Structure 1
Amino acid sequence: MVVAMLANSPPLLEFDLLRSFVAIAESGSFTRAAEQVFRSPAAVSMQIKRLEETLGKSLFLREARQVRLTPEGEVLLSYSRRLLKLNQEAVSQFVAPTIEGTVCFGSPEDIANSVLPQVLAQFARSHPAVAVNVIAGSSTELLSRLDSGELDMALLTAGNVGQDPTRGEVVFTEPLVWATRSGGLAVESQPLPLAVASRGCCWRSMALNALDKHAIEYRIAYACDQSSGMQAAMEADLAIAPIPQSHMRAPFVQVDAKWGLPELGEYQLLFEHRKELGPAGNALASYIVNAWKTPR
Structure 2
Amino acid sequence: MTLTPAPTRNTALPLLDTEVLRTFVVIAESGSFTRAAEQVFRTPSALSMQIKRLEETLGQRLFLREARRVKLTPEGEVLLSYGRRLLKLNEEAVTQFLAPSLEGTVRFGTPDDVGSRILPGVLAKFARSHPAVQVDVVVGRSVDMLERLDRGELDLVLVTSGNQGVQSDRGEIVHTEPLVWACLDGGIAVQRTPLPLALANQGCAWRSMALSALDRSGLAYRIAYTSENCAGQEAALLADLAVAPLPLSMVRAPLREMNNEAGLPPLGEYQVLMIHGTAAGSASEVLAGHVVDAFRGLR
TM bucket (normalised to shorter chain) is 0.5 to 0.7
2:182 and 2:251 in contact (8 A); partners too = yes
Structure-2 separation of matches of 1:216 and 1:237? 20
Q: Is 1:283 paired with 2:292?
A: no
SS of the equivalent of 2:278 reads coil
Does structure 1 residue 14 correspond to structure 2 residue 17?
no
Structure 2: distance between partners of 1:116 and 1:134: 9
In structure 2, the CA distance between the partners of 1:108 and 1:190, relative to structure 1 (3 Å rule), is same
Give the alignment's TM-score, normalised by structure 2: 0.67
Once superposed, what is the RMSD of the aligned Cα atoms? Answer: 4.3
Q: Deviations over 1:41-77 (max 9, x none)?
A: xx9xxxxxx99x955489xxxxxxxxxxx99799778
Partner of 2:267: 264
Relative to structure 1, the CA distance from residue 93 to residue 213 in structure 2 (aligned partners, 3 Å threshold; closer, same or farther) is closer
1:206 equivalenced with 2:213 (yes/no)? no
Whole-angstrom CA distance in 1 between matches of 2:89 and 2:166: 47
Aligned residues: 260
Q: 1:239 aligns with which of 231, 237, 242?
A: 242
- Matching residue's letter, 2:111: P
2:221 counterpart residue number: 218
**What residue ranges of structure 2 are gaps of 5+ in the alignment?**
40-49, 64-72
Say if 2:159 is the partner of 1:187.
Answer: no
Give the alignment of 1:1-296 within 5 angstroms: 12=16, 14=21, 55-56=60-61, 83=86, 87=90, 90-91=93-94, 94-95=97-98, 97-161=100-164, 163=165, 165=167, 168-171=170-173, 172-289=175-292, 292=295, 296=299
d(CA) in 2 for partners of 1:286, 1:71: 34
Is the 1:173–1:269 contact (alpha carbons within 8 Å) kept by the matching residues of 2? yes
Equivalent pairs: percent with the same residue? 50
Whichever of the two has the greater Rg, that structure is 2
TM-score norm. by structure 1 comes to: 0.67
Distance in 1, matches of 2:172 and 2:208, equals 19
